[in-house]
Amino acid sequence: MPLIDALFDKLLERGGSDLHLAVGYPAMIRAKGDLVGLDQRELGAAEIERMLYEILTPEQRAHFDRERDLDFAYGYGQKARFRGNYLRKTTGMGAVFRTIPTKILTLDQLNVPQGVRRLAELRAGLVLVTGPTGSGKSTTLAAMVDHINSTRPGHILTIEDPVEFVHPSKSCQVTHREVGEHTPTFVDAIRSAGRENADVILVGELRGAETMKLSLQLASFGILVFATVHTNSAAGTIDRFVNAVSADQQPQIRGMLADSLSGVVAQQLLKRADGTGRVAVQEILIGSSALGSIIREGKTSMIGSYIQSGKGEGMQGMDDTLGKLVREGMVTAHDALEKAVDKESFAKAFPEAMDA
């Protein structure tokens, strides 16, 4: 049994989401949003290297020794999978592991808004799930893919680095491709995806202009494409796409977005007011011809009003949703203010948010 498995057992027993290992610090976990030590014993450089190298394949070790950085997935029997990131820093080798549950939660279990379910039931277009690291994007996407896998026939293709949630074939055939192991790069995998007769394609992360363009092209072919982007709002996501290319290419990318963007779910996690865990908060944007016009004309400042007018279609704004949770006592006004888009207006609506 690898030495690190004992730490994974403690992480799972405590319901933690992440395990942090660094020289000169005790093993630490993130539980209910807070980083806490598992004990008081500081880890030494030799101990961490022995623990971390033990679970690598020869190919992974060679990659890390060469690049000083490594992303990979580690399966701990039937208990869980972990997304690992190894790095080098001034004190030596370090790592962070993110828990990937072996059981994929359903849309019902996650209690997602109706707009998220509506996006999961589309047949074509680009759907983006966005948010900062650790905001639950992968969990939400896994539930959306599982909904498709459970309710209609088809071919689902995932392109990830590394593969996180493993979907067993239910109503669909599911193909998992891992960047670095099954394909050289995201760009190579996305380029070939159009020839693999997929009905649904999940791209783990859109990391640059080329992957963004290729994903939009796939969506224009009548394929349902899911992807993640590290942005905090629907409007910010559109701006990220446009600003990823040079000024002379921006009209083209606006046109592609206007034609193919079917929706954005911008997600954040907040601590529950009673301290029992965290709750996901989503801004939901659903595509239409009206949204297409806004994007073509570069009027992303109008997206907030567009979302407000589309509540009946399943859309919801981040600040409105945060306000609702504050009024329901689910989250504190102070925590909600930190995540609000328009902090000034939110503070006026909830003056208690300014209390320390």
DSSP letters, 132-157, are STTSSHHHHHHHHHHHHHHHS-EEEE
* 331 falls within a domain: no
Is residue 177 located within the same domain as residue 294? yes
Is residue 85 located within the same domain as residue 221? no
Is residue 118 located within the same domain as residue 193? yes
* 351 falls within a domain: no
Its domain, for residue 155, covers: 107-316
Is residue 163 located within the same domain as residue 62? no
Is residue 24 located within the same domain as residue 135? no
Is residue 77 located within the same domain as residue 215? no
The whole-angstrom separation of Cα 49 and Cα 22 is: 10
pLDDT on residue 270:
94
Is residue 173 located within the same domain as residue 91? no
* Residue ranges, the chain, pLDDT below 50: none
Q: Does the predicted model carry a pTM greater than 0.85?
A: yes
Choose one of 58, 76, 101: the last residue of a domain: 101
- Tell me the per-residue pLDDT of 162-186, one tens digit each, with 9 for 90 and over: 899 999 999 999 999 999 889 999 9
The whole-angstrom separation of Cα 224 and Cα 110 is: 22
Instruction: Indicate which CATH number applies to the domain containing 8.
Output: 3.30.450.90
Choose one of 83, 101, 119: the last residue of a domain: 101
Is residue 8 located within the same domain as residue 40? yes
- Tell me the per-residue pLDDT of 15-43, one tens digit each, with 9 for 90 and over: 999 999 999 999 999 988 889 999 989 99
Structure tokens given for 22:
């660094």
pLDDT on residue 77:
83
Is residue 152 located within the same domain as residue 206? yes
Number of domains in the chain: 2
